[in-house]
Amino acid sequence: MREGSLDAPVRHPIDWKNPDFYDEEKLDEELRRVFDICHGCRRCFNLCDSFPRLFDLVDAAPSEELDTVESNDFKSVVDACTLCDMCFLTKCPYVPPHEFNLDFPHLMLRYRAVEKSKGEDNFISRQLSKTDRNGKLAKHVAPLANWASDRHNGMTRGIMQSTLGIHKDAALPKYHAKTLEERAKENSLTVNQEAPAYGRKAVLYATCFGNYNNPDIGEATRKVLAKNGVETEVVYPGCCGMPLMEQGDIEAVAANAKSVALELGTWIDKGYDVIALVSSCALMLKFEWPLIIPQSESIKKLAAQTYDVSEYIVDISKKEGIAEGLEPLDGPVSMHLACHARAQNMGAKGAEMLRLIPKTRIAIVDRCSGHGGSWGIMAENFETALKVGKVAASNALKSGAPHIASECPLAAEHLMQGIERLDAEAAEEKSAHHPIQLLAKAYSL
């Protein structure tokens, strides 16, 4: 084995059904083993707040080593991890197949799974992770829900902070009375039979965010694909489980994976490719589910047939060629490379897709936005999230681009908040998008 692990990272299945996985003494032993290696390396100091917290604990300990750090203090390190996977994929030289066998994010997941098994998971975070329930309820009162959650509503947001712990200034997702599934059923699209990719068929996995919070992403995807000759269907069997995974509820993630894979598998059998509209969900289907249920053939089949939306458009452009009709945008794009898009190990497909638009400058932002799902909206984390994302926001601001794009819609909105902190006047001239929305705009769709 070469020092520095020059081989491609390899992830082992998550052994969550093994009783030893929940043994607190064995967990503490593994935490100390991994944290000691991290302390001796410190290459990941600028990724998120987990590592500065860990290094501060060690530096403040009597021996200035891990042996005099209290195990109870490890929780602050775990709580700061957003499971972005960037340490595993971009920084750590000791991931498998290196003999040190470090997988920091999945160790944090194990800690949270132990907390969950003991009933020590956070109640509010657990409720926020129930995205399907929340979406189904909120769609019936969408205007009221959006009014109450608007960050400029000082009355309701103050109450939310004091009761739910959600920071009063954090931008929250909106809800819509009609889901993406419902819109797709009501609005059929004519497929362009002259397009080079005519004959392709794809089923759009709406995702909880795309179905309830931002159906415009799915609408843009449908229109772009129809323009490019691709027949589409929209389905939403349930959440991919990423919010549940953030809370350590691996069993619930596995249950969701089985039911979603069962329905999507029927479409694969009919010759459809699977497209996930949000990068976090594509990551779950392609990489996390096979590690949680490694023995499932249906999960393996789905993982092999799933594309991120940007990845799929780029695939069309390379294999058949993109449909004509793209026109330059009204200004450059600051394209943020979302952590969960990067974690798919597919390259910067969002940026690659936007470069199909003629005479449009694409400025890359390759630092974390700091959001981290529901983590970044909580009162105890919001300012830290903005601090982590300050470099990304600053780079997006310096680009001068009016369009801020990210394959993680929450990251795009969070970057807008970071830009607002840096230059409120400049922020008013910018807007946040998923890159597929900008491609649809370039097609005048």
pLDDT tens track for 235-251? 999 999 999 999 999 99
Q: What is the pLDDT of residue 1?
A: 42
pLDDT tens track for 321-341? 999 999 999 999 999 999 899
> Per-domain residue ranges for the chain?
19-117, 123-164, 180-319, 333-442
CATH fold of 180-319 reads Glutathione S-transferase Yfyf (Class Pi); Chain A, domain 2 (1.20.1050)
Q: What is the pLDDT of residue 6?
A: 62
The 3-state secondary structure of the chain reads CCCCCCCCCCCCCCCCCCHHHHCHHHHHHHHHHHHHHHHHHCCCCCCCCHHHHHHHHHHHCCCCCHHHCCHHHHHHHHHCCCCCCHHHHHHCCCCCCCCCCCCHHHHHHHHHHHHHHCCCCCHHHHHHCCHHHHHHHHHHHHHHHHHHHCCCCHHHHHHHHHHHCECCCCCCCCCCCCCHHHHHHHCCCCCCCCCCCCCCEEEEECCHHHHHHCHHHHHHHHHHHHHCCCEEEEECCCCCCHHHHHCCCHHHHHHHHHHHHHHHHHHHHCCCEEEECCHHHHHHHHHHHHHHCCCCHHHHHHHHHEEEHHHHHHHHHHHCCCCCCCCCCCCCEEEECCHHHHCCCCCCHHHHHHCCCCCCCEEEECCCCCCCHHHHHECCCHHHHHHHCHHHHHHHHHCCCCEEEECCHHHHHHHHHHHHHHCHHHHCCCEEECHHHHHHHHCCC
Each of the 445 residues of the chain gets a pLDDT tens digit; together they read: 444 556 678 899 999 999 999 999 999 999 999 999 999 999 988 888 899 999 999 999 999 999 999 999 999 999 999 898 989 988 898 999 999 999 999 999 999 999 999 998 888 888 888 988 999 999 999 999 999 999 999 899 999 999 999 999 999 999 999 999 999 999 999 999 999 999 999 999 999 999 999 999 999 999 999 999 999 999 999 999 999 999 999 999 999 999 999 999 999 999 999 999 999 999 999 999 999 999 999 999 999 999 999 999 999 999 999 999 999 999 999 999 998 998 898 889 999 999 999 999 999 998 888 887 788 899 999 999 999 899 999 999 999 999 999 999 888 899 999 999 999 999 999 999 999 999 999 999 9
pLDDT tens track for 358-395? 999 999 998 888 887 788 899 999 999 999 899 999 99
